[in-house]
A and B are shown apart, each in its own frame.
Chain A
């Protein structure tokens, strides 16, 4: 038996190296016992075959059990993860001293995590965060598989506090669809690097569904073509998320809580390996003078003031529509049988959901453009707001003259959400749960808000209303091929793309109107003058000719 297995292993290795496309076929042809050689991802140069590790050759009843097995070799992994935002859901912005992160921020999508932990933490890299008493120090609570699964079968179910289901269950409830309990042993034996699928499992679905939140991050990036993403294209460079978000010690760089704007300085490029800067920037690979060819100097000059993304991501939501508006104030309508319902718009996208309110989706969206220096100010729960103004959940700081800003493309997401009329503050409310306070259960705002505010121990005046909010999202993914970058004319014309950006002089867009008026008038008068002069000469000449 063993020699045959060895032979199979060698065959598999040969297949994996020489015929990557057939590696799966080799797996299929293997005998009933899983062929170990095929457990390594095709083309992988890893020196460890996890299927051969004794610690993983046993059944696992739960996620934490798998984690303990992982930690028996990867002794520092959990403690590394414990330091990251993926684990803490918290970020103390050193520039603004604001305490951010999913745990603290109230956004204008699903709004807030507290009181909804077990649902939201389906996207936490841990197990068991079901309430405020979660043990952030427990190493076994770290979920290794959600990032390192290579089988595509590991799935955390909202409502299970970060756990996958350990026995087949219907999900979503009432849908008739069955979420299968994943084979933890098989998954553990095939762990590998993170992939577009593992990162995407959460980041593509932010805001409660595919393509909802970012506009430049959605499931279309799992198998993108070149037009959608020149770096990630399957038939091109085939980058994974980690190629740019080059991770060290589980610390993933490139957070939007503190964006690296990379104001270029003459001659200095923030290159990978030469700088301790953020590797997840365009400049980290392309440098500060990335353009070549005839227009290189002129385009590089543009790059001093414009973020690369401004020209190279001409539109976002290019493969599927993204949510642009979410109005919670209309949530809770029920049909004539007293049941929640959903409506679609003409294009077939969700337009209304009793649980969430009104939506608007858009495709191929032209970004808005703002000066941005990397500093972001948030309206936190504690922040007093002016209910007569649109509340800016976050505000991108920057301007033409601060020497640090560049013009960035953003998605501006607008909505309405509850605020405390007495205290003029944003409200936390209980969305999901088995209890009768959950809005999705009983559609009662008073109970939902009261429970949410009690959960965080904050004061609620008892009176709520809905306030208009907006949130800015940097557009940075879905870089198009250079042929699809913005053409000059898209800004150098009137009206142009950058019309709303102050402090720019754009030839073809901005001209001194007084100079134009005087210049053209004088030129016109000169023309009229010489025509009149010429006509006079012709007339006088004729008159003389007639006389003679």
Chain B
């Protein structure tokens, strides 16, 4: 919220990354909206259409992820998610107190370190916990009719597959709420969002 510190502009998010982020955002919002309708939380599209849209969006996201994983591996960008506990305490303190008193941001964002330590942990948990949970449960949910062919029908029940899928969905929903809010905690309220749109982030020198 400070406008006093001297700033510079750095190119953080490349074109594919931005495309990936926004199409993924759209698909995840769609999946949440339709998913919780299928879950029975409300009526919006109608059950049958919600199932259809959910299925198409899921396959679209799978496709997108194939490209995204390829991109991360080939560009080495996967290293951005290597966890570090360095300055985690400082980041947490910043969000709890410093942000209110206009204290300096404890993390200096650069092109090779574009995520702060808390972000790294959050995104890593998204990649390693929420994603596998939602994908594996979703896969078995979607292919319920193939369980017998796959020989897994004795070990799985739809009730528990649905449970874990819903659990993953709630985790992603909570992640989503926090994530959207934290976009406003940049140098200015909109600087993170602008960076995600244009690629250029305004950071304190």
Contact = CB atoms under 8 A, between A and B. Distances in A.
B47 interface: yes
Contacts of B144: 301
A515 interface: yes
B40 A515 contact: no
B46 A537 contact: no
Interface size class of A (residues with CB under 8 A): 35 or more
A522 B174 contact: yes
Contact of A527 (B166, B169, B177): B177
A492 to B, nearest CB: 5
A4 interface: no
Contact of B39 (A266, A301, A508): A508
Given A515-B166, A522-B170, A540-B101, A505 B47 contact: no
A298 interface: yes
A266 B181 CA distance: 50
A530 B178 contact: yes
Contacts of A544: 102
Interface in B162-201: 162-163, 166-167, 169-170, 173-174, 177-178, 181, 184
Nearest to A494: B40
Majority secondary structure of chain A interface residues (helix, strand, loop or mixed): helix
A488 B51 contact: yes
Given A515-B170, A536-B100, A489 B145 contact: no
Contacts of A530: 177-178, 181
Contacts of A169: none
A311 to B, nearest CB: 13
Contact of B47 (A300, A492, A534): A492
A510 B166 CA distance: 12
Interface string A501-535: 00001011111100110111011001100100110
Interface residues of B, number: 35
A492 B162 CA distance: 14
B82 interface: no
B183 to A, nearest CB: 11
A487 B145 CA distance: 19
Interface string B38-63: 11110000111001100000000000
Interface in A253-296: 266, 294
A526 B167 contact: no
A294 B149 CA distance: 21
Interface string B78-105: 0000000000000000010001111000
A355 B40 CA distance: 51
B73 interface: no
Contacts of B157: 505
Nearest to B99: A537
B29 interface: no
Nearest to B102: A544
Contacts of A505: 157-159, 162
A493 B40 contact: yes
Interface in A452-490: 487-489
Given A526-B178, A530-B181, A508 B1 contact: no
Contacts of B100: 536-537, 540
A329 B4 CA distance: 93
Nearest to A492: B47
A301 B162 contact: no
A488 B48 contact: yes
A324 interface: no
Nearest to A520: B170
A75 interface: no
Nearest to A514: B163
Interface of A: 266, 294, 297-298, 300-301, 304, 487-489, 492-494, 505, 507-512, 515-516, 518-520, 522-523, 526-527, 530, 533-534, 536-537, 540-541, 544
5 contacts: A298-B145, A489-B48, A519-B170, A534-B184, A537-B99
Given A494-B40, A515-B166, 18 more contacts: A266-B149, A301-B145, A487-B47, A488-B47, A505-B158, A505-B162, A507-B39, A508-B38, A510-B162, A511-B162, A512-B159, A515-B163, A523-B170, A523-B173, A526-B178, A530-B177, A541-B102, A544-B102
Interface of B: 1, 37-41, 46-48, 51-52, 95, 99-102, 144-145, 148-149, 157-159, 162-163, 166-167, 169-170, 173-174, 177-178, 181, 184
Top-10 shortest CB links A-B: A301-B145, A519-B170, A530-B181, A508-B40, A505-B159, A505-B158, A540-B100, A489-B47, A488-B48, A488-B47
